Structures are given as C-alpha cells and as structure tokens.
Structure 1
Amino acid sequence: MALARDVALPGGKRIFEEGEEADRFWIIRSGSVALDIHMPGRGRAVVETIGAGSLLGWSWLCPPRQWHLAAETRDPVRAWEFDAAAVHELCAEDTALGLSLVTAVAETIGDRLRATRTRLLDLYGPPGPQGSEGAP
C-alpha cells in the first residue's frame, strides 16, 4: 500500500468538517469515528458511527469534492490515510483499479443509505398497523 500513510488519531479529534475540501480518505484499522451533521440551533447530530474495516470519506471521489458530513474520533483510531489526488491519478492510469475503487465506494454509500433509511423508519415510521387503536 505505497499510497497509504499510517496515522494515529486521539479520541475526540475532529478529522474534517462538513463543507471543507475533501482531499483524502481513510480506511479505519481500529477505533471508531462518529459521522455528524450540523443542525442550526441544535448543534451536531451523529448520523452514524463506523469502525475497523470501514471507509471514512467518499466525498473526494466526485465533484464538488466537499465533505457532506463531519467526522470525529470516538476513541483512539489507527487508520491508513490516502491522498485523494494521488489515488485519482493512479485510477486514471489503471482503469480496472478505478472501476474496482468506484464499485467499493458505491457499496459503502449504498450501505450507509440503507442504514440511514432504517434509522429514519424507526424514528418516524407509523407506530403500528392503522386502525389497531383500541383493538383487543
């Protein structure tokens, strides 16, 4: 993994903020990271927590290349950090690698979308079958 840089991040470290330039990404080796969004008047709301084996950051892949969420370590994290420009360059040279990478990132996005949908249904879905109020 010639493009990877081993990094150690302390617990409670803000890694990136929503709206900033997405110029790198990480594969988490140990520890956990909370992904959050700023809610005006309410502060930050955690939308997901990811851990070992997870991809942290996919916004670097497509324009406008800005983070859609923010990230903060929950506890000490070890990760491999990748420079997005170097990975883009390598993918331009090796299109099979580029396709594999885009496929892996798309799977991550899909998994996170499904998890978010499930959480939203848990929060805002109907309480039970309609018309069951007062039924024996």
Structure 2
Amino acid sequence: MSSITAADLAREPFLRGMRSADLARLATTARAVEIPAGRRIIAEAEPAERFWLIREGTVALDLRVPERGTVVVDTFGPGAALGWSWLFRPYRWRFGATALEDVRAVEFDGRLIRTLCAVDPALGYELTRRFTELVVDRLQAAQLRLLESAHPVPQP
C-alpha cells in the first residue's frame, strides 16, 4: 500500500477545492487499497468506521429487503465517494456494498477523521457539508429511479 499525499487528495473529485491544510490532515488518515471483485466492502448494520473514494472499478450499493433478500439500489464508479455512515450517529452502515469488479480506492479512517473534526470545526463543517450534499444527491437520484419504475416512459 502506498502512502497518500495532500496533492493526491486534491485530485479527487469529492475533495476538489478543499483547503491544503485540510487535505494534509485527511492524508494522515488515508491509504490506498485494492479490493478484489466479489468482496463485501460494507455489511449493513455493522459498525461504520471508514469511507472510500473510488479511483477504479465499480461498487454495488445494496439493501436487505424482507422477503426479497439483498437488492442492489445503486452502483458507483471512479470519482464516487462510498460510505457516509461513519460521520453520522449511530455510526452503523445503513446499506451494504460489494465490489462488482476489482476496485482501487483511497480508504479513510472515519474514527480518526471524527477526532480531527472535533479539534477543527472548520474541517468538520466542510466534510459534513460535502457528505450531506452527497446524501441529498443520492436521495434525489433514488427518487427519480422510483418514479421511473412506477411510471415507465413509453418507448417509441
């Protein structure tokens, strides 16, 4: 595993535009990881202690549905952030995730980042803002998918 620098993080779409000092602090919590296809990355309801920025590969986000089993609710590829439950109490995964193909990512230690945020509220605000925007974007995308499945557009 190679070390991650602030310059590396500055190139990540999710972190673009962050202050150099914040990127340097985040880099101390980050490491490059490779996740083989088929590996479970997140298990729903388990403790949430990290998040990832996907550089290569695809990840399926899923949810356990009574009487239907595990249902894929979304997929993410390069440039996506995976996992926000580490930031919000009760710090348990609300979804599951599996690598659909080999994934290269930057993995962050969420517990350490929570500590950094407690010491530096400006960093905490910036990360909370970014993750909240991510949650809102994904909720809107899910809403559109639900509407499309309930009212399919006729094909010409």
Q: TM-score, normalised by structure 2?
A: 0.78
Structure-2 change in CA distance of 1:88 and 1:41 (3 Å) = same
TM-score (norm 1): 0.89
User: Which amino acid is the alignment partner of residue 45 of structure 1?
Assistant: V
**Cα distance, 1:85 vs. partner?**
1.0
Partners in 1 of 2:59 and 2:84 — Cα distance? 14
**What is the RMSD of the two structures over their aligned residues, measured on CA atoms?**
1.4
Structure number with the higher strand fraction is 1
Q: Which residue of 2 aligns with 1:90?
A: 116
Out of 129, 134, 140, the residue aligned to residue 114 of structure 1 is 140
Relative distance call for 1:126 and 1:50 in structure 2 (3 A) is closer
- Structure 2: runs of 5+ lacking an equivalent: 1-26
- Where has structure 1 moved over 3 Å in runs of 4 or more? 125-128
For 1:49, the equivalent position in structure 2 comes to 75
Which amino acid in the other structure matches residue 66 of structure 1? Answer: R
Bigger relative contact order (CA 8 A; separation at least 6): 1
Q: Give 3-state SS (helix, strand or coil) of 1:67's partner.
A: coil
Give the letter for the 1:39 counterpart. Answer: V
Structure with larger Rg: 1
AA matched with 1:4? A
Quick one: distance in 2 between partners of 1:54 and 1:127? 28
Q: Percent same amino acid at aligned positions?
A: 47
